[in-house]
């Protein structure tokens, strides 16, 4: 068989028109590899090779496009490929080439991920480390990135977040608020002792909040309950907000 015409498509692929009216769409890497621009002869064996290699380059380019949206860890790309093929050797080959061409680099990924999280979010170091670990980053890489860049939890950021939560509290007791802030900040990845220390240094008396909540609940329930029953119902609702007075 002969290749009668080669047309480059907008996608960057090439369309080969054969003299038997067949059409093959392939990649420039394959065009160059088999010298198809100059050698017009093509047989069934070569066509079979082209079809098999098309699958490789299709997946490879798909990975590169995926990485171009944002950096990916090796584990992410492996998971991505496993959704598209169950050929383990093909996956390993593609990952190897991506690493060789520097599309995959877990060290650079960890640095960029850490920087983005610290700059763009309120996430603490403990949670970032756990997220990187779940993304398949080696523990040694994680520790080196944090230590070499002298990264630590931003105490000022943590203090500002806690102060804001305290300032915005208008209905919960100090005990309830302390526990809620503690849980929230631990979930964000901050150290327990540092959280408690900042809370204790910034928490204010909750007497005014108690009185306002008592009045609000009283006004809501006074038409429905009377005497001891009213007092009991008020205390139950206050207890739910953490007040034990």
pLDDT, tens only, 15-46? 999 988 889 999 989 988 888 888 778 888 89
Report the residue count for the chain.
245
200, 234: one domain: no
Per-residue model confidence (pLDDT) at position 88: 94
Per-residue model confidence (pLDDT) at position 150: 60
10, 89: one domain: yes
165 three-class SS: helix
pTM > 0.85: yes or no? no
Distances in Å between the Cα of 175 and the Cα atoms of 74, 158, 161, 172, 189 are: 45, 19, 18, 8, 21
Per-residue model confidence (pLDDT) at position 131: 96
Instruction: For residues 47-63, give the mean pLDDT.
Output: 91
214, 237: one domain: yes
pLDDT at residue 198 greater than cutoff 70: yes
Interior angle at CA 190, CA 188 and CA 196, nearest 5: 115
Per-residue model confidence (pLDDT) at position 151: 63
Number of domains observed in the structure of the chain? 4
The residues pairing with 5 across neighbouring beta strands, listed in sequence order, are 17
Q: Which residues of 71-83 are buried (b: 16+ CB within 10 A; e: fewer)?
A: bbbbebbbebbee
Per-residue model confidence (pLDDT) at position 215: 84
114, 92: one domain: no
144, 176: one domain: no
Q: Is the dihedral of CA 36, 41, 42, 45 positive or negative?
A: negative
Domain boundaries, position 64: 3-100
Per-residue model confidence (pLDDT) at position 208: 79
Distances in Å between the Cα of 87 and the Cα atoms of 77, 82, 104, 131 are: 14, 8, 20, 28
127 three-class SS: helix
78, 38: one domain: yes
pLDDT at residue 56 greater than cutoff 70: yes
20, 94: one domain: yes
50, 60: one domain: yes
**By the 8 A CB rule, do 217 and 236 touch?**
no
pLDDT at residue 80 greater than cutoff 80: yes
Residue pLDDT, tens place only, 202-227: 987 777 777 788 888 888 888 888 88
pLDDT at residue 111 greater than cutoff 80: yes
Q: What is the CATH number of the domain that holds 132?
A: 1.10.10
pLDDT at residue 177 greater than cutoff 80: yes
67, 40: one domain: yes
**By the 8 A CB rule, do 125 and 149 touch?**
no
Share of the chain above pLDDT 90, in %: 50
169, 219: one domain: no
Interior angle at CA 126, CA 121 and CA 128, nearest 5: 45
236, 210: one domain: yes
Instruction: For residues 63-89, give the mean pLDDT.
Output: 95
Report how far residue 132's alpha carbon sits from residue 237's, in angstroms, rounded to the nearest whole number. Answer: 42
Residue pLDDT, tens place only, 97-110: 999 999 999 999 99
**By the 8 A CB rule, do 171 and 208 touch?**
no
**By the 8 A CB rule, do 105 and 111 touch?**
no
13, 52: one domain: yes
Report how far residue 234's alpha carbon sits from residue 219's, in angstroms, rounded to the nearest whole number. Answer: 10
Q: What is the CATH number of the domain that holds 44?
A: 1.10.10.10
Per-residue model confidence (pLDDT) at position 245: 63
């Amino acid at each position: 068989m002969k290749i009668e015409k080669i047309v480059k498509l907008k996608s960057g692929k090439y369309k080969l028109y054969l003299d038997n009216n067949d059409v093959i769409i392939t990649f420039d890497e394959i065009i160059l590899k088999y010298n198809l621009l100059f050698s017009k002869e093509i047989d069934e064996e070569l066509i079979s090779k082209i079809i098999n290699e098309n699958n490789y380059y299709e997946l490879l380019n798909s990975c590169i496009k995926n990485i171009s949206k944002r950096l990916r860890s090796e584990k992410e790309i492996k998971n991505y490929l496993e959704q598209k093929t169950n050929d383990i050797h093909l996956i390993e080959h593609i990952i190897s080439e991506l690493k060789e061409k520097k599309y995959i680099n877990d060290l650079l990924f960890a640095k960029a991920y850490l920087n983005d999280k610290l700059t763009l979010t309120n996430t603490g170091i403990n949670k970032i480390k756990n997220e990187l670990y779940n993304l398949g980053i080696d523990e040694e890489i994680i520790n080196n990135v944090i230590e070499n860049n002298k990264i630590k939890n931003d105490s000022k950021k943590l203090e500002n977040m806690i102060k804001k939560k305290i300032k915005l509290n208008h209905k919960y007791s100090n005990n309830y608020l302390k526990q809620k802030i503690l849980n929230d900040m631990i979930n964000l990845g901050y150290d327990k002792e540092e959280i408690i220390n900042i809370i204790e240094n910034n928490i204010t008396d909750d007497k005014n909040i108690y009185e306002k909540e008592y009045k609000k609940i009283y006004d809501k329930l006074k038409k429905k309950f009377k005497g001891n029953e009213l007092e009991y119902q008020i205390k139950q609702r206050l207890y739910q907000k953490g007040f034990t007075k």
